[in-house]
Amino acid sequence: MSLPHAILTALLEKPSSGLELTRRFDKSIGYFWSATHQQIYRELGRLEAEGHIRALPSEQPARGQKKSYEVLPAGRAELARWTAASQDPKPHRDVMLLRLRAAAVVGTAGLEADLRRHLDLHRLQLAEYQEIEQRDFPPGKDAPQDRLRHLVLRAGIDLETFWTQWLTHALEELAELPGSERA
C-alpha cells in the first residue's frame, strides 16, 4: 500500500493537480514508483476523503478544471509514520529472467531480438538518469535532502547499469550456444 505515500511525498515536494502528478510520476518519481493517471485520481479522492490532503481553495472544482492539492498535517504525519515503520521486502518478479529460464527448456528461438530491444531500452533509461544526475546533482550540492534524493537516483542509475551489462552478457552467451533454435 505505497501509492498514497508516493503521492503524499510528491505533493509535499510541490502541491500539484492530478495531471501534474501524472507527469511527475512519468519522470523522476517513475524510477522507483510508477502509476497511471487513473490510479492517481482515485487515490487523490481517497486521500482527500481521509483528510490527508485538500484541494487548494483558489480553483473551482468542476470537471475539466484544474484542481490542485496540498498535504495537510495529518497527511504529513501519516507519511512520517509509514516511512519509519518496518516493512518486509517484497519478493521480486522479473519476466525476462523467467523467459530465459524457460528458454533453457523450450529453446531460445526468438529471444535474441527482444533481449536486444530491452538492452536498448535500458541504455536509453540509463542515459536519461545520467542526464538528470548532471542537471540536478552537480558536485557540491549536498544539503541533506539532496543527498538522500541523489542516493535514490544512484540506485536507479546502478540498476540500469546492471541490466545493460547483464543483457549484454546474455546476448554473448546466446551467440555462443550451439543450435540457436533447437526446439
Least distance CB 56 / DNA (angstroms): 10
Cell of 141: 550540492
**Could you tell me which residues are beta bridge partners of residue 71?**
53
Question: What string marks each residue from 26 to 65 as x (binds a copy of itself by CB under 8 A) or -?
Answer: ---xxxxxx-------------------------------
Q: Please name the residues in contact with 156: beta carbons below 8 A apart, sequence gap of 6 or more.
A: 31, 32, 129
- Return d(Cα 121, Cα 90) in angstroms, integer: 25
Interaction partner, residue 94 (a copy of itself, DNA, none; CB < 5-8 Å by kind): a copy of itself
Out of 58, 60, 65, 86, name the contact with a copy of itself by CB under 8 A: 86
- Rounded to the nearest whole angstrom, what is the least distance from the CB of residue 169 to DNA in the complex? 26
Report how far residue 72's alpha carbon sits from residue 14's, in angstroms, rounded to the nearest whole number. 13
H or E stretch including 68? Answer: strand 68-71
**Alpha helical stretches, state H, 37-110:** 37-49, 73-84, 95-106
Alpha carbons 43 and 59: distance in angstroms, whole number: 20
Q: How far is the CB of 21 from DNA (least distance, A)?
A: 8
Sequence length of the chain is 183
Using CB under 7 A as the binding rule, whether residue 155 contacts DNA is answered as no
* Residues 158, 35 contacting (CB under 8 angstroms): no
Binding mask 51-90 for DNA (x = CB under 7 A): ----------xxxxxxxx---------------------x
Site for DNA in 85-114 (CB under 7 A): 90-91, 93
Nearer to a copy of itself, 127 or 151 (CB): 151
Return the amino acid letter for 150: H
Name the minimum Å distance from CB 133 to DNA. Answer: 26
x-or-dash string of contact with a copy of itself, 96-135, rule CB under 8 A: xxxxxxxxxxxxxxxx-xx--xx--xx-------------
